[in-house]
Amino acid sequence: MKFIEEHGLLRKLGMGLVDIAMIVVSVYVSMELRFEMDIPPQHMRATLHALPLVLAIYMLCFSIGGIYRVMWRYSGVRDVMRLCVLCALACALTLACNQFMTLELFRGVLVLIGLLSIIFTGGIRMVWRVFSKDRIPGGLGDAMPVMIVGAGEAGAYAVNICNKDPKRLGRPVLLVDDAQSKQGLRLQNVPVRGKTEDIPKLVTRYGIREIIVAIPSLGNSERMQHILELCYETRCHTRMLSEPADADVADSEGTPFIRELNISDFLSREEIELDTDSIAGYLSGKTVMVTGGGGSIGSELCRQILRFKPKLLVIFEIYENCAYELEYELRQRYGQDCPVVTLIGSIRDRERLDEVFDLYHPQVVFHAAAHKHVPLMEESPAEAIKNNVFGTLNLLESAREHGVERLVQLSTDKAVNPANVMGATKRITEMLIQRYGEKTDMKCMAVRFGNVLGSHGSVIPLMEAQIRKGGPVTVTHPDITRYFMTIPEAAQLVLQAGGIARSGSIFVLDMGEPVRIMDLAKKLIRAYGYEPNVDMPIKIIGLRPGEKLYEELLTDAERNKMTRTAHRKIFVANVEPVGDEQYEQMLAILREAAEKNDEHAVEAIAKVVPTFHPWSGKGEGVRGAESRAG
């Protein structure tokens, strides 16, 4: 039976032969019951004459009705009801043939054949289900069949979680693992049935509907990507088991450690090797302040900073909800007495900044506070100037006056040949960092990187929300590409860059290869078990104001002069500094422009950032188009 079941065509053929035998038995038993165990010869001859037609009708109904596509090992009430309906339909067709083709069979016999066919064909399937060696302990019931990838400690944990709530999470049917020594073994009575390369055929063979990948040790390696690609082929809903080490911060209301896939799981990234000694050297025992600490990157910086045991972590944030949630999380993870203070305030308020610096005397500052949403800043350019430029200036002045040792500002690839207001204002903040790095004793540096996966308002959360609503998933342009990093990657490299003592430098992070947003959308859709443009549409909506088709991490001039640092993923962009006269003129122009939120604000930004060419609606700034043409 096992050999027949595990080989698709042979399994169907075997079940068909069994059904033919059961129907023949049903015909014989019906005749015996009708004639009280003494069948007249003429009626037996008539029955044998009509038997091929009866068999053909029943088998045709079974085949068309999809009986042989059902995994009876995991069948439920609906599958049994389908069998009953198909037997009743076949019975009705034999009665009709008997009426119009004069088969000379008793109607009562034909009805009995239908009833006994249900009993015999259904009974043999239930026997198969009950006595199958590979059945699931306790049966599936209404639970969906689940495959666990990985038969190690994490796999055992995933099996345990699912078994606690099988109706919601499904029941583990089998595990796959590449270790030869684990093949044929059972983990909590769930069998290991193959290796990862067998995932597609095992999904078909066992009727799997969901896959849980439980190999956290692989991280985002190429091997993990290959496993996820195999899961794509199955169109099963695929999820991931997170590190058990995160148990202390798991959401008690959600599913412990089992999460949806996101595109960061498909980025092939080597594990970042941090020089922890250099980071600890400037963080351990120090008072560290993070502006915009409640944001995506800011909050991850706070999490990472606490690993290096600072004397005090000051979270400075304007949005109280984000700040409250972060502080709660940090105290849950690091203990209620961890050295964290959360302060509400804006970098645009110089008096508030001075008050904080006077009270806590931070020695290291990470500046992550900024207006970052490109389309919104196109509508409110003066606000971008006030917050991104003069907010940063306020912070630099206050930090200088209060003896801050080191200040690290987070910049963006949109500052390179900017085609939008947000990118242009971030380029101006890089100029400010250069200025204060050269003219003061404070070590100032900017770190330039691309899009961060999963950050507030970024493309991944938007796409996930669209998929959950049934689509469509929106993409601005079929050819648009972006550089991507995960939030932890970005935060770790920012900390590492902060340990490189090159004041006034603009550091550029190695972002790998740019990713097509269309490819990203298709991967995410398949991760949720859908097929792009088949059962989940993708809609092209056009480029948004200020949006380019391609982003760049360096200008042509910067690329020619780029130098390496001690860390292989961090480079220095050698940008010409701003002269004294140009600097004062720049601030005067911007102060005047910030007073009114109109086209003059954009014109003022263009005066002080020569590489800025306001968005034309074609997705490329003039400068960007020229550099690509050359």
Rounded Cα distance between 279 and 335, Å, is 22
Phi first, then psi: give them for residue 596, nearest 5 degrees. -130, 135
User: How many other C-beta atoms are found inside a 10 Å radius of the C-beta of residue 387?
Assistant: 22
Rounded Cα distance between 15 and 79, Å, is 15
- Both tokens of 96, joined, read 């009709």
Rounded Cα distance between 341 and 537, Å, is 46
User: How many other C-beta atoms are found inside a 10 Å radius of the C-beta of residue 177?
Assistant: 23
Rounded Cα distance between 427 and 415, Å, is 5
Rounded Cα distance between 10 and 4, Å, is 6
Rounded Cα distance between 372 and 334, Å, is 30
- Residue 365's DSSP bridge partners are 289, 407
Known catalytic residue at 414 = yes
Rounded Cα distance between 387 and 382, Å, is 9
**For strand 210-213 and strand 145-149, is the pairing parallel, antiparallel, or unpaired?**
parallel
Rounded Cα distance between 227 and 232, Å, is 9
Rounded Cα distance between 426 and 409, Å, is 10
Residue with tokens 């002080």: 608
Rounded Cα distance between 615 and 420, Å, is 6
Q: Indicate which residue of 414, 443, 548, 569 is catalytic.
A: 414
The residues, ordered by sequence, that sit 6+ positions from 315 with a Cβ below 8 Å of its Cβ are: 290, 293, 294, 298, 302, 323, 326, 327, 340, 341, 342, 343
CA 586 from chain center: how many Å?
43
User: How many other C-beta atoms are found inside a 10 Å radius of the C-beta of residue 141?
Assistant: 12
* Residue 250: DSSP 8-state: -
Closest CA to 497 of 568, 442, 585, 560: 568
CA 447 from chain center: how many Å?
26
How far, CA to CA in Å, does 545 sit from each of 374, 379, 628?
A: 8, 9, 21
Rounded Cα distance between 422 and 551, Å, is 13
Rounded Cα distance between 225 and 264, Å, is 10
Length of the chain equals 630
User: How many other C-beta atoms are found inside a 10 Å radius of the C-beta of residue 370?
Assistant: 27
* Residue 532: DSSP 8-state: B
User: How many other C-beta atoms are found inside a 10 Å radius of the C-beta of residue 43?
Assistant: 16
Phi first, then psi: give them for residue 550, nearest 5 degrees. -130, 140
Query: Is the bond preceding 472 in cis, omega lying within 30 degrees of 0?
Result: yes
What is the dihedral angle through the alpha carbons of 183, 184, 189, 194, rounded to the nearest 10 degrees?
50
Amino acid at 369: A
CA angle, 536 as apex, 531 and 538 as ends, to 5°? 105
Catalytic residues: 414
